[in-house]
Chains A and B, each alone.
Chain A
C-alpha cells in the first residue's frame, strides 16, 4: 500500500491567497484526520471525518479554514484567505476502526509558508 498521500509537499504563498491542501487516505480506511503542527502548539487536531462525514471540526481555528471529503479516497483542507500565522506543517492521517490498534497512519505532511 502506498500509504497516506499528501500534496503538495511544500507550499509557499502570499498573505491573502487561497491555499488548498490535498490528501488521499489509505484505501479501505474509514476515518480521516487533519492535523496542524507548530512549534508553539505541537500537533493539533483540526477536523476528522468518518465515512466521509465531518464528525468534529472544533479544532478548526477560524472560518477561513474549511475541509471537505467528497469521497472515500480524497479530502481537501482549504484556507481562504491565508495569513502568515497559518504557516505550519499540515498532516493528514487515516485509520480503520477495528484495526489491531486503531492507530492512525500519517502522511508526510505539507509544509505551508505564508509570506
Chain B
C-alpha cells in the first residue's frame, strides 16, 4: 500500500506559467515532507522541504504548501522554465523513534514547453 501518492505521472506546462505538482499521503505520523528533483541519468536532488508545523515554505520560484487535514501537499513553480523539466518526487518522513528514512512517491514528470 503506497503511503505517498503522486497521482499524475506527467504534466506539461508552458514556459512562464505556473506548474503545480500534487502529492497525497496516508500516514498521519508523517510530519516532515520533501520534494526532490531528478534529471535523467542522475540521482534525485533535494529541492525544498516543509515541516508539519507550517503550511507554506517558499524558496525563490518554488513554494510548497501543506494541508494536514487533507493529507495533501503541493509544489508550485512560478514561473516555470525549460530547465525545470525533470521528474519530481514527493517524500515524507516519520519523525521520532530515531527514524530518518524517507518514503517516496512514484514521481511526476514535468515538461516545460518553451
Contact = CB atoms under 8 A, between A and B. Distances in A.
Contacts of A97: 100
What does DSSP make chain A's interface, helix, strand, loop or mixed?
strand
Given A101-B49, A103-B34, A43 B43 contact: no
A91 B44 CA distance: 9
Interface string A83-115: 000000001010101000111111111000000
B43 A91 contact: yes
A108 B105 contact: no
Given A101-B49, A103-B34, A103-B49, A42 B104 contact: yes
Given A43-B44, A45-B102, A45-B103, 9 more contacts: A42-B107, A48-B100, A48-B101, A50-B100, A55-B98, A93-B43, A103-B46, A108-B42, A109-B42
30 contacts: A4-B43, A31-B100, A33-B101, A42-B106, A42-B107, A43-B44, A43-B106, A44-B104, A45-B101, A45-B102, A50-B100, A56-B99, A91-B43, A91-B44, A95-B100, A97-B100, A101-B34, A101-B49, A102-B32, A102-B93, A102-B100, A103-B34, A103-B49, A104-B46, A104-B102, A106-B43, A108-B42, A108-B43, A109-B42, A109-B43
Interface of B: 32, 34, 36, 41-46, 49, 89, 93, 98-107
